[in-house]
Chain A
Amino acid sequence: MVPSLLSLEHVLEGLEIALFVLLLGMFAMRSLRVRRAEIAARARDWMVEKMLPLFDGDAEQRCEGRKVFINDQLVVELPPPRGLWGDAIREVFADHLVFITGDLRNRFVNVLEEAGYISAVMRGLKSRNVETRIKTCMLLGAMHSRLAVPALIEVFGDDPDPFVRIGAAEALGAIGSEVAVAPLLAALRNPTRWQQVRVAEVLSHMGMTAVSALTEAVEDPDIRIAALALDILADIGWMSDFAPAERALKHESPEVRARAAAALGRGGAMNSITALFAAATDAAWFVRVRVMKALHALGAPAHLGLNERYFAVLDAGLHDDVWWVRRHAAEALADNGEPGRAVLGRAMIERVGSAARRAAVSALQRHVLLSASRLAGAAISSPA
């Protein structure tokens, strides 16, 4: 039952050796890491220093292989795109490409292409490791080189892993290639919300290029696609045609109806306001919330002569059963000048403790507070 002393001593010995190996391994790992970090830091500093002439937008840049000339003067010869130095150099460029655009970005991309960095990175697309392939897609997207487009399209079509495919789609979108719109829309069918958000983000960054395809996607039979397309259109804030969104207000899924209302509001679809009025009596409360928000965003349609109807709808919203709807209706009223506040005023003389009255009080207070703060801000910023 009790293990014999002899075997236990062996166990103890083994444990001690294991502990020793662990400690040794840890310190070895640390020294290796410190050394690599030192080299990388040196490479980085070197590159950053050498990069400075490239920032001058007026100078002329020319590349010959890894040599970069500014105004016909050799400013830097990049190291080959491999090893610790190559990795560090690539990182420096990738870090900069996150926050620059325009001319300078084109210059950087040109340097990376000429020096063979892009093709070196592209080799990662053939890796067996899924994570490496994803990472490579991200990197290529960040590098914005059109050289990578054919390879990325191929990966998007053929890669067995869905995460890699979506990564490729994303990279294509980031590079801004029009060919990417169709694959990206296809990728919206992906199961996880996170990936949809990522793709959606890329699409909305593409702006106008994606609008017509997205407007079509609103009528996709798959409600998830329709809903997301509406979300993205709302995000871009521009639609070529409001009719699909208006039709989506009558969709069978309340999710889609809600998003359609939001998209119309954000898109500034003043001519669709009557469709929104109709949707204000939707059965699902969160659709009504979105409608109130959209009406808030659009403001009173004075020039259409629909003011009376507008305030009547908001008044009904103020008396809704759901506080969230009441609240948004009240805020819309508070921000809509005298006629809106008159509606709130009427609610204030209702029975004390009534829901509409509480919502009205809350919105009016908030309105007064916010406008006071704006006045104060203006008073401060005008020079004494």
Chain B
Amino acid sequence: MIFALFRLPWYGSPAWNFAREIVLGYNALVFFYVIFVDLTYLAFTFIALIEVRRYLRTRDKERLEQIFRSRLVPPISILCPAYNEGATIVDSVRSLLRLKYSQHEVVVVNDGSKDNTLASLIEAFRMEKLEFEYETTVPSKPVRALYASPGYPKLIVVDKENGGKADALNAGINASRYPLFCTVDADAILEEDALLHVVRPMLDRPTFVPITGGIIRAANGCRVVKGRVEAVGLPRKPIELFQIVEYMRAFLCGRTAQSALNVMLIVSGAFGLFHKATAKTVGGYSSDTVGEDKELVVKIVRYLKENKREYEILFVPQTVCWTEVPASWQTLGRQRNRWHRGMFEVLYKHRAMFFNRAYGRAGIIGMPYFLLIEALGPLVELSGYILLPLAALLGLLAPINAIVYTLCAVVLGIILSVSAVLLEEASFHRYPRWRELALLNLIAVVENFGYRQLTLWWRLRGTWDYLRGNKQWGAQVRQGFGTPVVAPAAKTG
């Protein structure tokens, strides 16, 4: 090999040749894997394009509003867990109370905050402690008190001891009155008509729809006044810009297509609408995982399949909420690490579903997809990034070959990112200025040189942390919501 930098003494020996075959074979495998993954996403984008266009053609905003003023649509309880949100909680609650819907209530769960969350709510809405009789059907930490306001009959505040997000949501489920509940992060900014759009599939489909979700976008760079996005814009920092394109890929392309194929297994914790009775039957949220939102969805799917019930989990290609994404590399890294750990926990806990005919598409396509493409992706791809140069360096592969491999993968990645921007442009065009379009495209190109690899690295770290945590201690330090809580080891899957 003329390009080889080293000429090692054992070069050309049979063992060497064997090793060479192995490494080259692995490299080819990684290459095909990456191409396969990208083509899958590309197919998703294509399906999503068709779906979104179809959705937009039949959308009719005015009528929707009119219809949903009808008392015949099911009322919704909005569950909003809050931990140390004193600065923003009052504005958030005000905007939640203002949502367009015929009948809804807002249940704020104060998860043992250490700041003035509860006090500011009591003051702003003139809330009073209330004796309130309700049934406890899903487990949660003790509730200290319930508050209601004479001036705001739609609002209930549950004050409970700290127990993490899942626990807070369970307390909210207990205290809520209505047959559907919608989970909302305290810092998420909802679109006014979010409930109208996401509830529609629950009524519109002949099959049972236990869960629906919608598009979540990054709020960074938008002008937000009093819990409402007034003007859409782009942030300055690259880290935030990258995430905007990333969210487009994930929600606009990924979720829309997964929903069309009925293999959806993820509904974001920041916004999701659930059928309460079903969620209660499966025992509500589990406190022993950092991926409680994903876990509940899988649990419900599993329960429905085990009871031979037909269902659809649907994603509405309609922006429902905006969320502030991390603006520092450290926070972002931690977030991705946590998400990835959560995914592994869910996959492990429900491993019985893999390739199990009894679980239908979720078992045959959904779960394997999450394991092979989402969960193991970082491991395979990053190993390729290391092995390919190494192979070239050791003279196993012509460097030009290595470069072309990499370029193919990268250009395909760029096409993928650009298609996501294209999908946005062909459907919602929320970013009206030319400069913004150019910037989004630039970001779509640039994110393939560094940012994507970095997220892969964080997710790999997540994989590692999961494996370590599970085997050695059987318990993990949760960073998800509020203060770290050590989950009891006994409960882990």
Known: A235-B71, A235-B72. A18 touches B135 (CB 8 A): no
A231 to B74, CA, bound (A): 13
> Within 8 Å of chain B (Cβ to Cβ): is A23?
yes
| Contact residues, A300-346 vs B (CB, 8 A) | 323, 326-327
CB of A204 within 8 A of CB of B70, answer: yes
A191 touches which of B57, B130, B153, B206 (Cβ 8 Å):
B206
Stretch at the interface among B223-231, B261-269, B402-410: B402-410
Known: A135-B58, A194-B200. A30 touches B72 (CB 8 A): no
With a cutoff of 8 Å between Cβ atoms, the chain B residues found around residue A365 in the complex are 128, 130-131
> Within 8 Å of chain B (Cβ to Cβ): is A372?
yes
A8 to B403, CA, bound (A): 11
CB of B130 within 8 A of CB of A15, answer: no
CB of B133 within 8 A of CB of A326, answer: yes
Q: Mark B114-145, 1 if CB is under 8 A from A, else 0.
A: 00000000000000101111110000000000
The A interface, classified by DSSP as helix, strand, loop or mixed, is helix
> Within 8 Å of chain A (Cβ to Cβ): is B357?
no
CB of A197 within 8 A of CB of B404, answer: no
CB of B133 within 8 A of CB of A369, answer: no
A229 to B151, CA, bound (A): 35
B67 touches which of A5, A135, A198, A355 (Cβ 8 Å):
A198
> Within 8 Å of chain B (Cβ to Cβ): is A200?
yes
Q: How large is the interface on A (under 10, 10 to 19, 20 to 34, 35 or more residues)?
A: 35 or more
> Within 8 Å of chain A (Cβ to Cβ): is B60?
yes
CB of A15 within 8 A of CB of B412, answer: yes
> Within 8 Å of chain A (Cβ to Cβ): is B484?
no
A147 to B371, CA, bound (A): 59
> Within 8 Å of chain A (Cβ to Cβ): is B237?
no
> Within 8 Å of chain B (Cβ to Cβ): is A359?
yes
> Within 8 Å of chain A (Cβ to Cβ): is B330?
no
| Contact residues, B85-136 vs A (CB, 8 A) | 128, 130-135
B415 touches which of A9, A19, A98, A326 (Cβ 8 Å):
A19
The count of chain B contact residues (Cβ–Cβ below 8 Å) is 53
> Within 8 Å of chain B (Cβ to Cβ): is A134?
yes
> Within 8 Å of chain A (Cβ to Cβ): is B324?
no
Closest to B27 in A: A2
> Within 8 Å of chain B (Cβ to Cβ): is A12?
yes
CB of A138 within 8 A of CB of B60, answer: yes
A323 touches which of B24, B134, B426 (Cβ 8 Å):
B134
A201 touches which of B24, B70, B134, B407 (Cβ 8 Å):
B70
With a cutoff of 8 Å between Cβ atoms, the chain B residues found around residue A59 in the complex are none
With a cutoff of 8 Å between Cβ atoms, the chain A residues found around residue B63 in the complex are 138, 142
Closest to A4 in B: B401
A134 to B70, CA, bound (A): 21
A8 to B151, CA, bound (A): 69
CB of B66 within 8 A of CB of A26, answer: no
> Within 8 Å of chain B (Cβ to Cβ): is A193?
yes
> Within 8 Å of chain A (Cβ to Cβ): is B375?
no
The B interface, classified by DSSP as helix, strand, loop or mixed, is helix
With a cutoff of 8 Å between Cβ atoms, the chain B residues found around residue A372 in the complex are 150
CB of A359 within 8 A of CB of B133, answer: yes
Closest to A374 in B: B150
With a cutoff of 8 Å between Cβ atoms, the chain B residues found around residue A204 in the complex are 70
CB of B419 within 8 A of CB of A201, answer: no
**A117 CB, nearest partner CB in chain B, Å:** 18
With a cutoff of 8 Å between Cβ atoms, the chain B residues found around residue A131 in the complex are 54, 57-58
| Contact residues, B350-373 vs A (CB, 8 A) | none
> Within 8 Å of chain B (Cβ to Cβ): is A39?
no
> Within 8 Å of chain B (Cβ to Cβ): is A253?
no
CB of B150 within 8 A of CB of A370, answer: yes
CB of B437 within 8 A of CB of A27, answer: yes
Closest to B407 in A: A12
A193 to B179, CA, bound (A): 15
Known: A23-B418, A366-B130. A201 touches B67 (CB 8 A): yes
CB of B204 within 8 A of CB of A22, answer: no
Q: Mark A336-378, 1 if CB is under 8 A from B, else 0.
A: 0000000000000000000100110110011001101100100
With a cutoff of 8 Å between Cβ atoms, the chain A residues found around residue B54 in the complex are 131
> Within 8 Å of chain B (Cβ to Cβ): is A192?
yes
Closest to B429 in A: A33
CB of A197 within 8 A of CB of B67, answer: yes
> Within 8 Å of chain B (Cβ to Cβ): is A16?
yes
CB of B148 within 8 A of CB of A194, answer: no
> Within 8 Å of chain A (Cβ to Cβ): is B282?
no
A26 to B150, CA, bound (A): 53
**A99 CB, nearest partner CB in chain B, Å:** 9
CB of A16 within 8 A of CB of B148, answer: no
CB of A26 within 8 A of CB of B57, answer: no
A18 to B422, CA, bound (A): 13
**A351 CB, nearest partner CB in chain B, Å:** 15
Q: Which of A16, A142, A193 has the most CB of B within 10 A?
A: A193
CB of A5 within 8 A of CB of B401, answer: yes
| Contact residues, A129-143 vs B (CB, 8 A) | 131, 134-135, 138, 142
A-B contact pairs, 23 of them (CB 8 A): A2-B401, A5-B400, A8-B404, A8-B405, A8-B408, A22-B415, A30-B429, A30-B437, A33-B429, A98-B62, A131-B57, A142-B63, A193-B204, A194-B203, A194-B204, A198-B67, A201-B67, A235-B72, A323-B134, A359-B133, A362-B131, A370-B150, A372-B150
Report, nearest first, the 7 A-B pairs whose CB atoms are least far apart. A373-B150, A194-B203, A194-B204, A193-B203, A15-B411, A358-B133, A369-B150
User: Given A22-B419, A235-B71, A323-B134, 9 more contacts at CB 8 Å?
Assistant: A2-B28, A5-B398, A8-B404, A19-B418, A23-B418, A25-B422, A138-B60, A191-B206, A370-B153
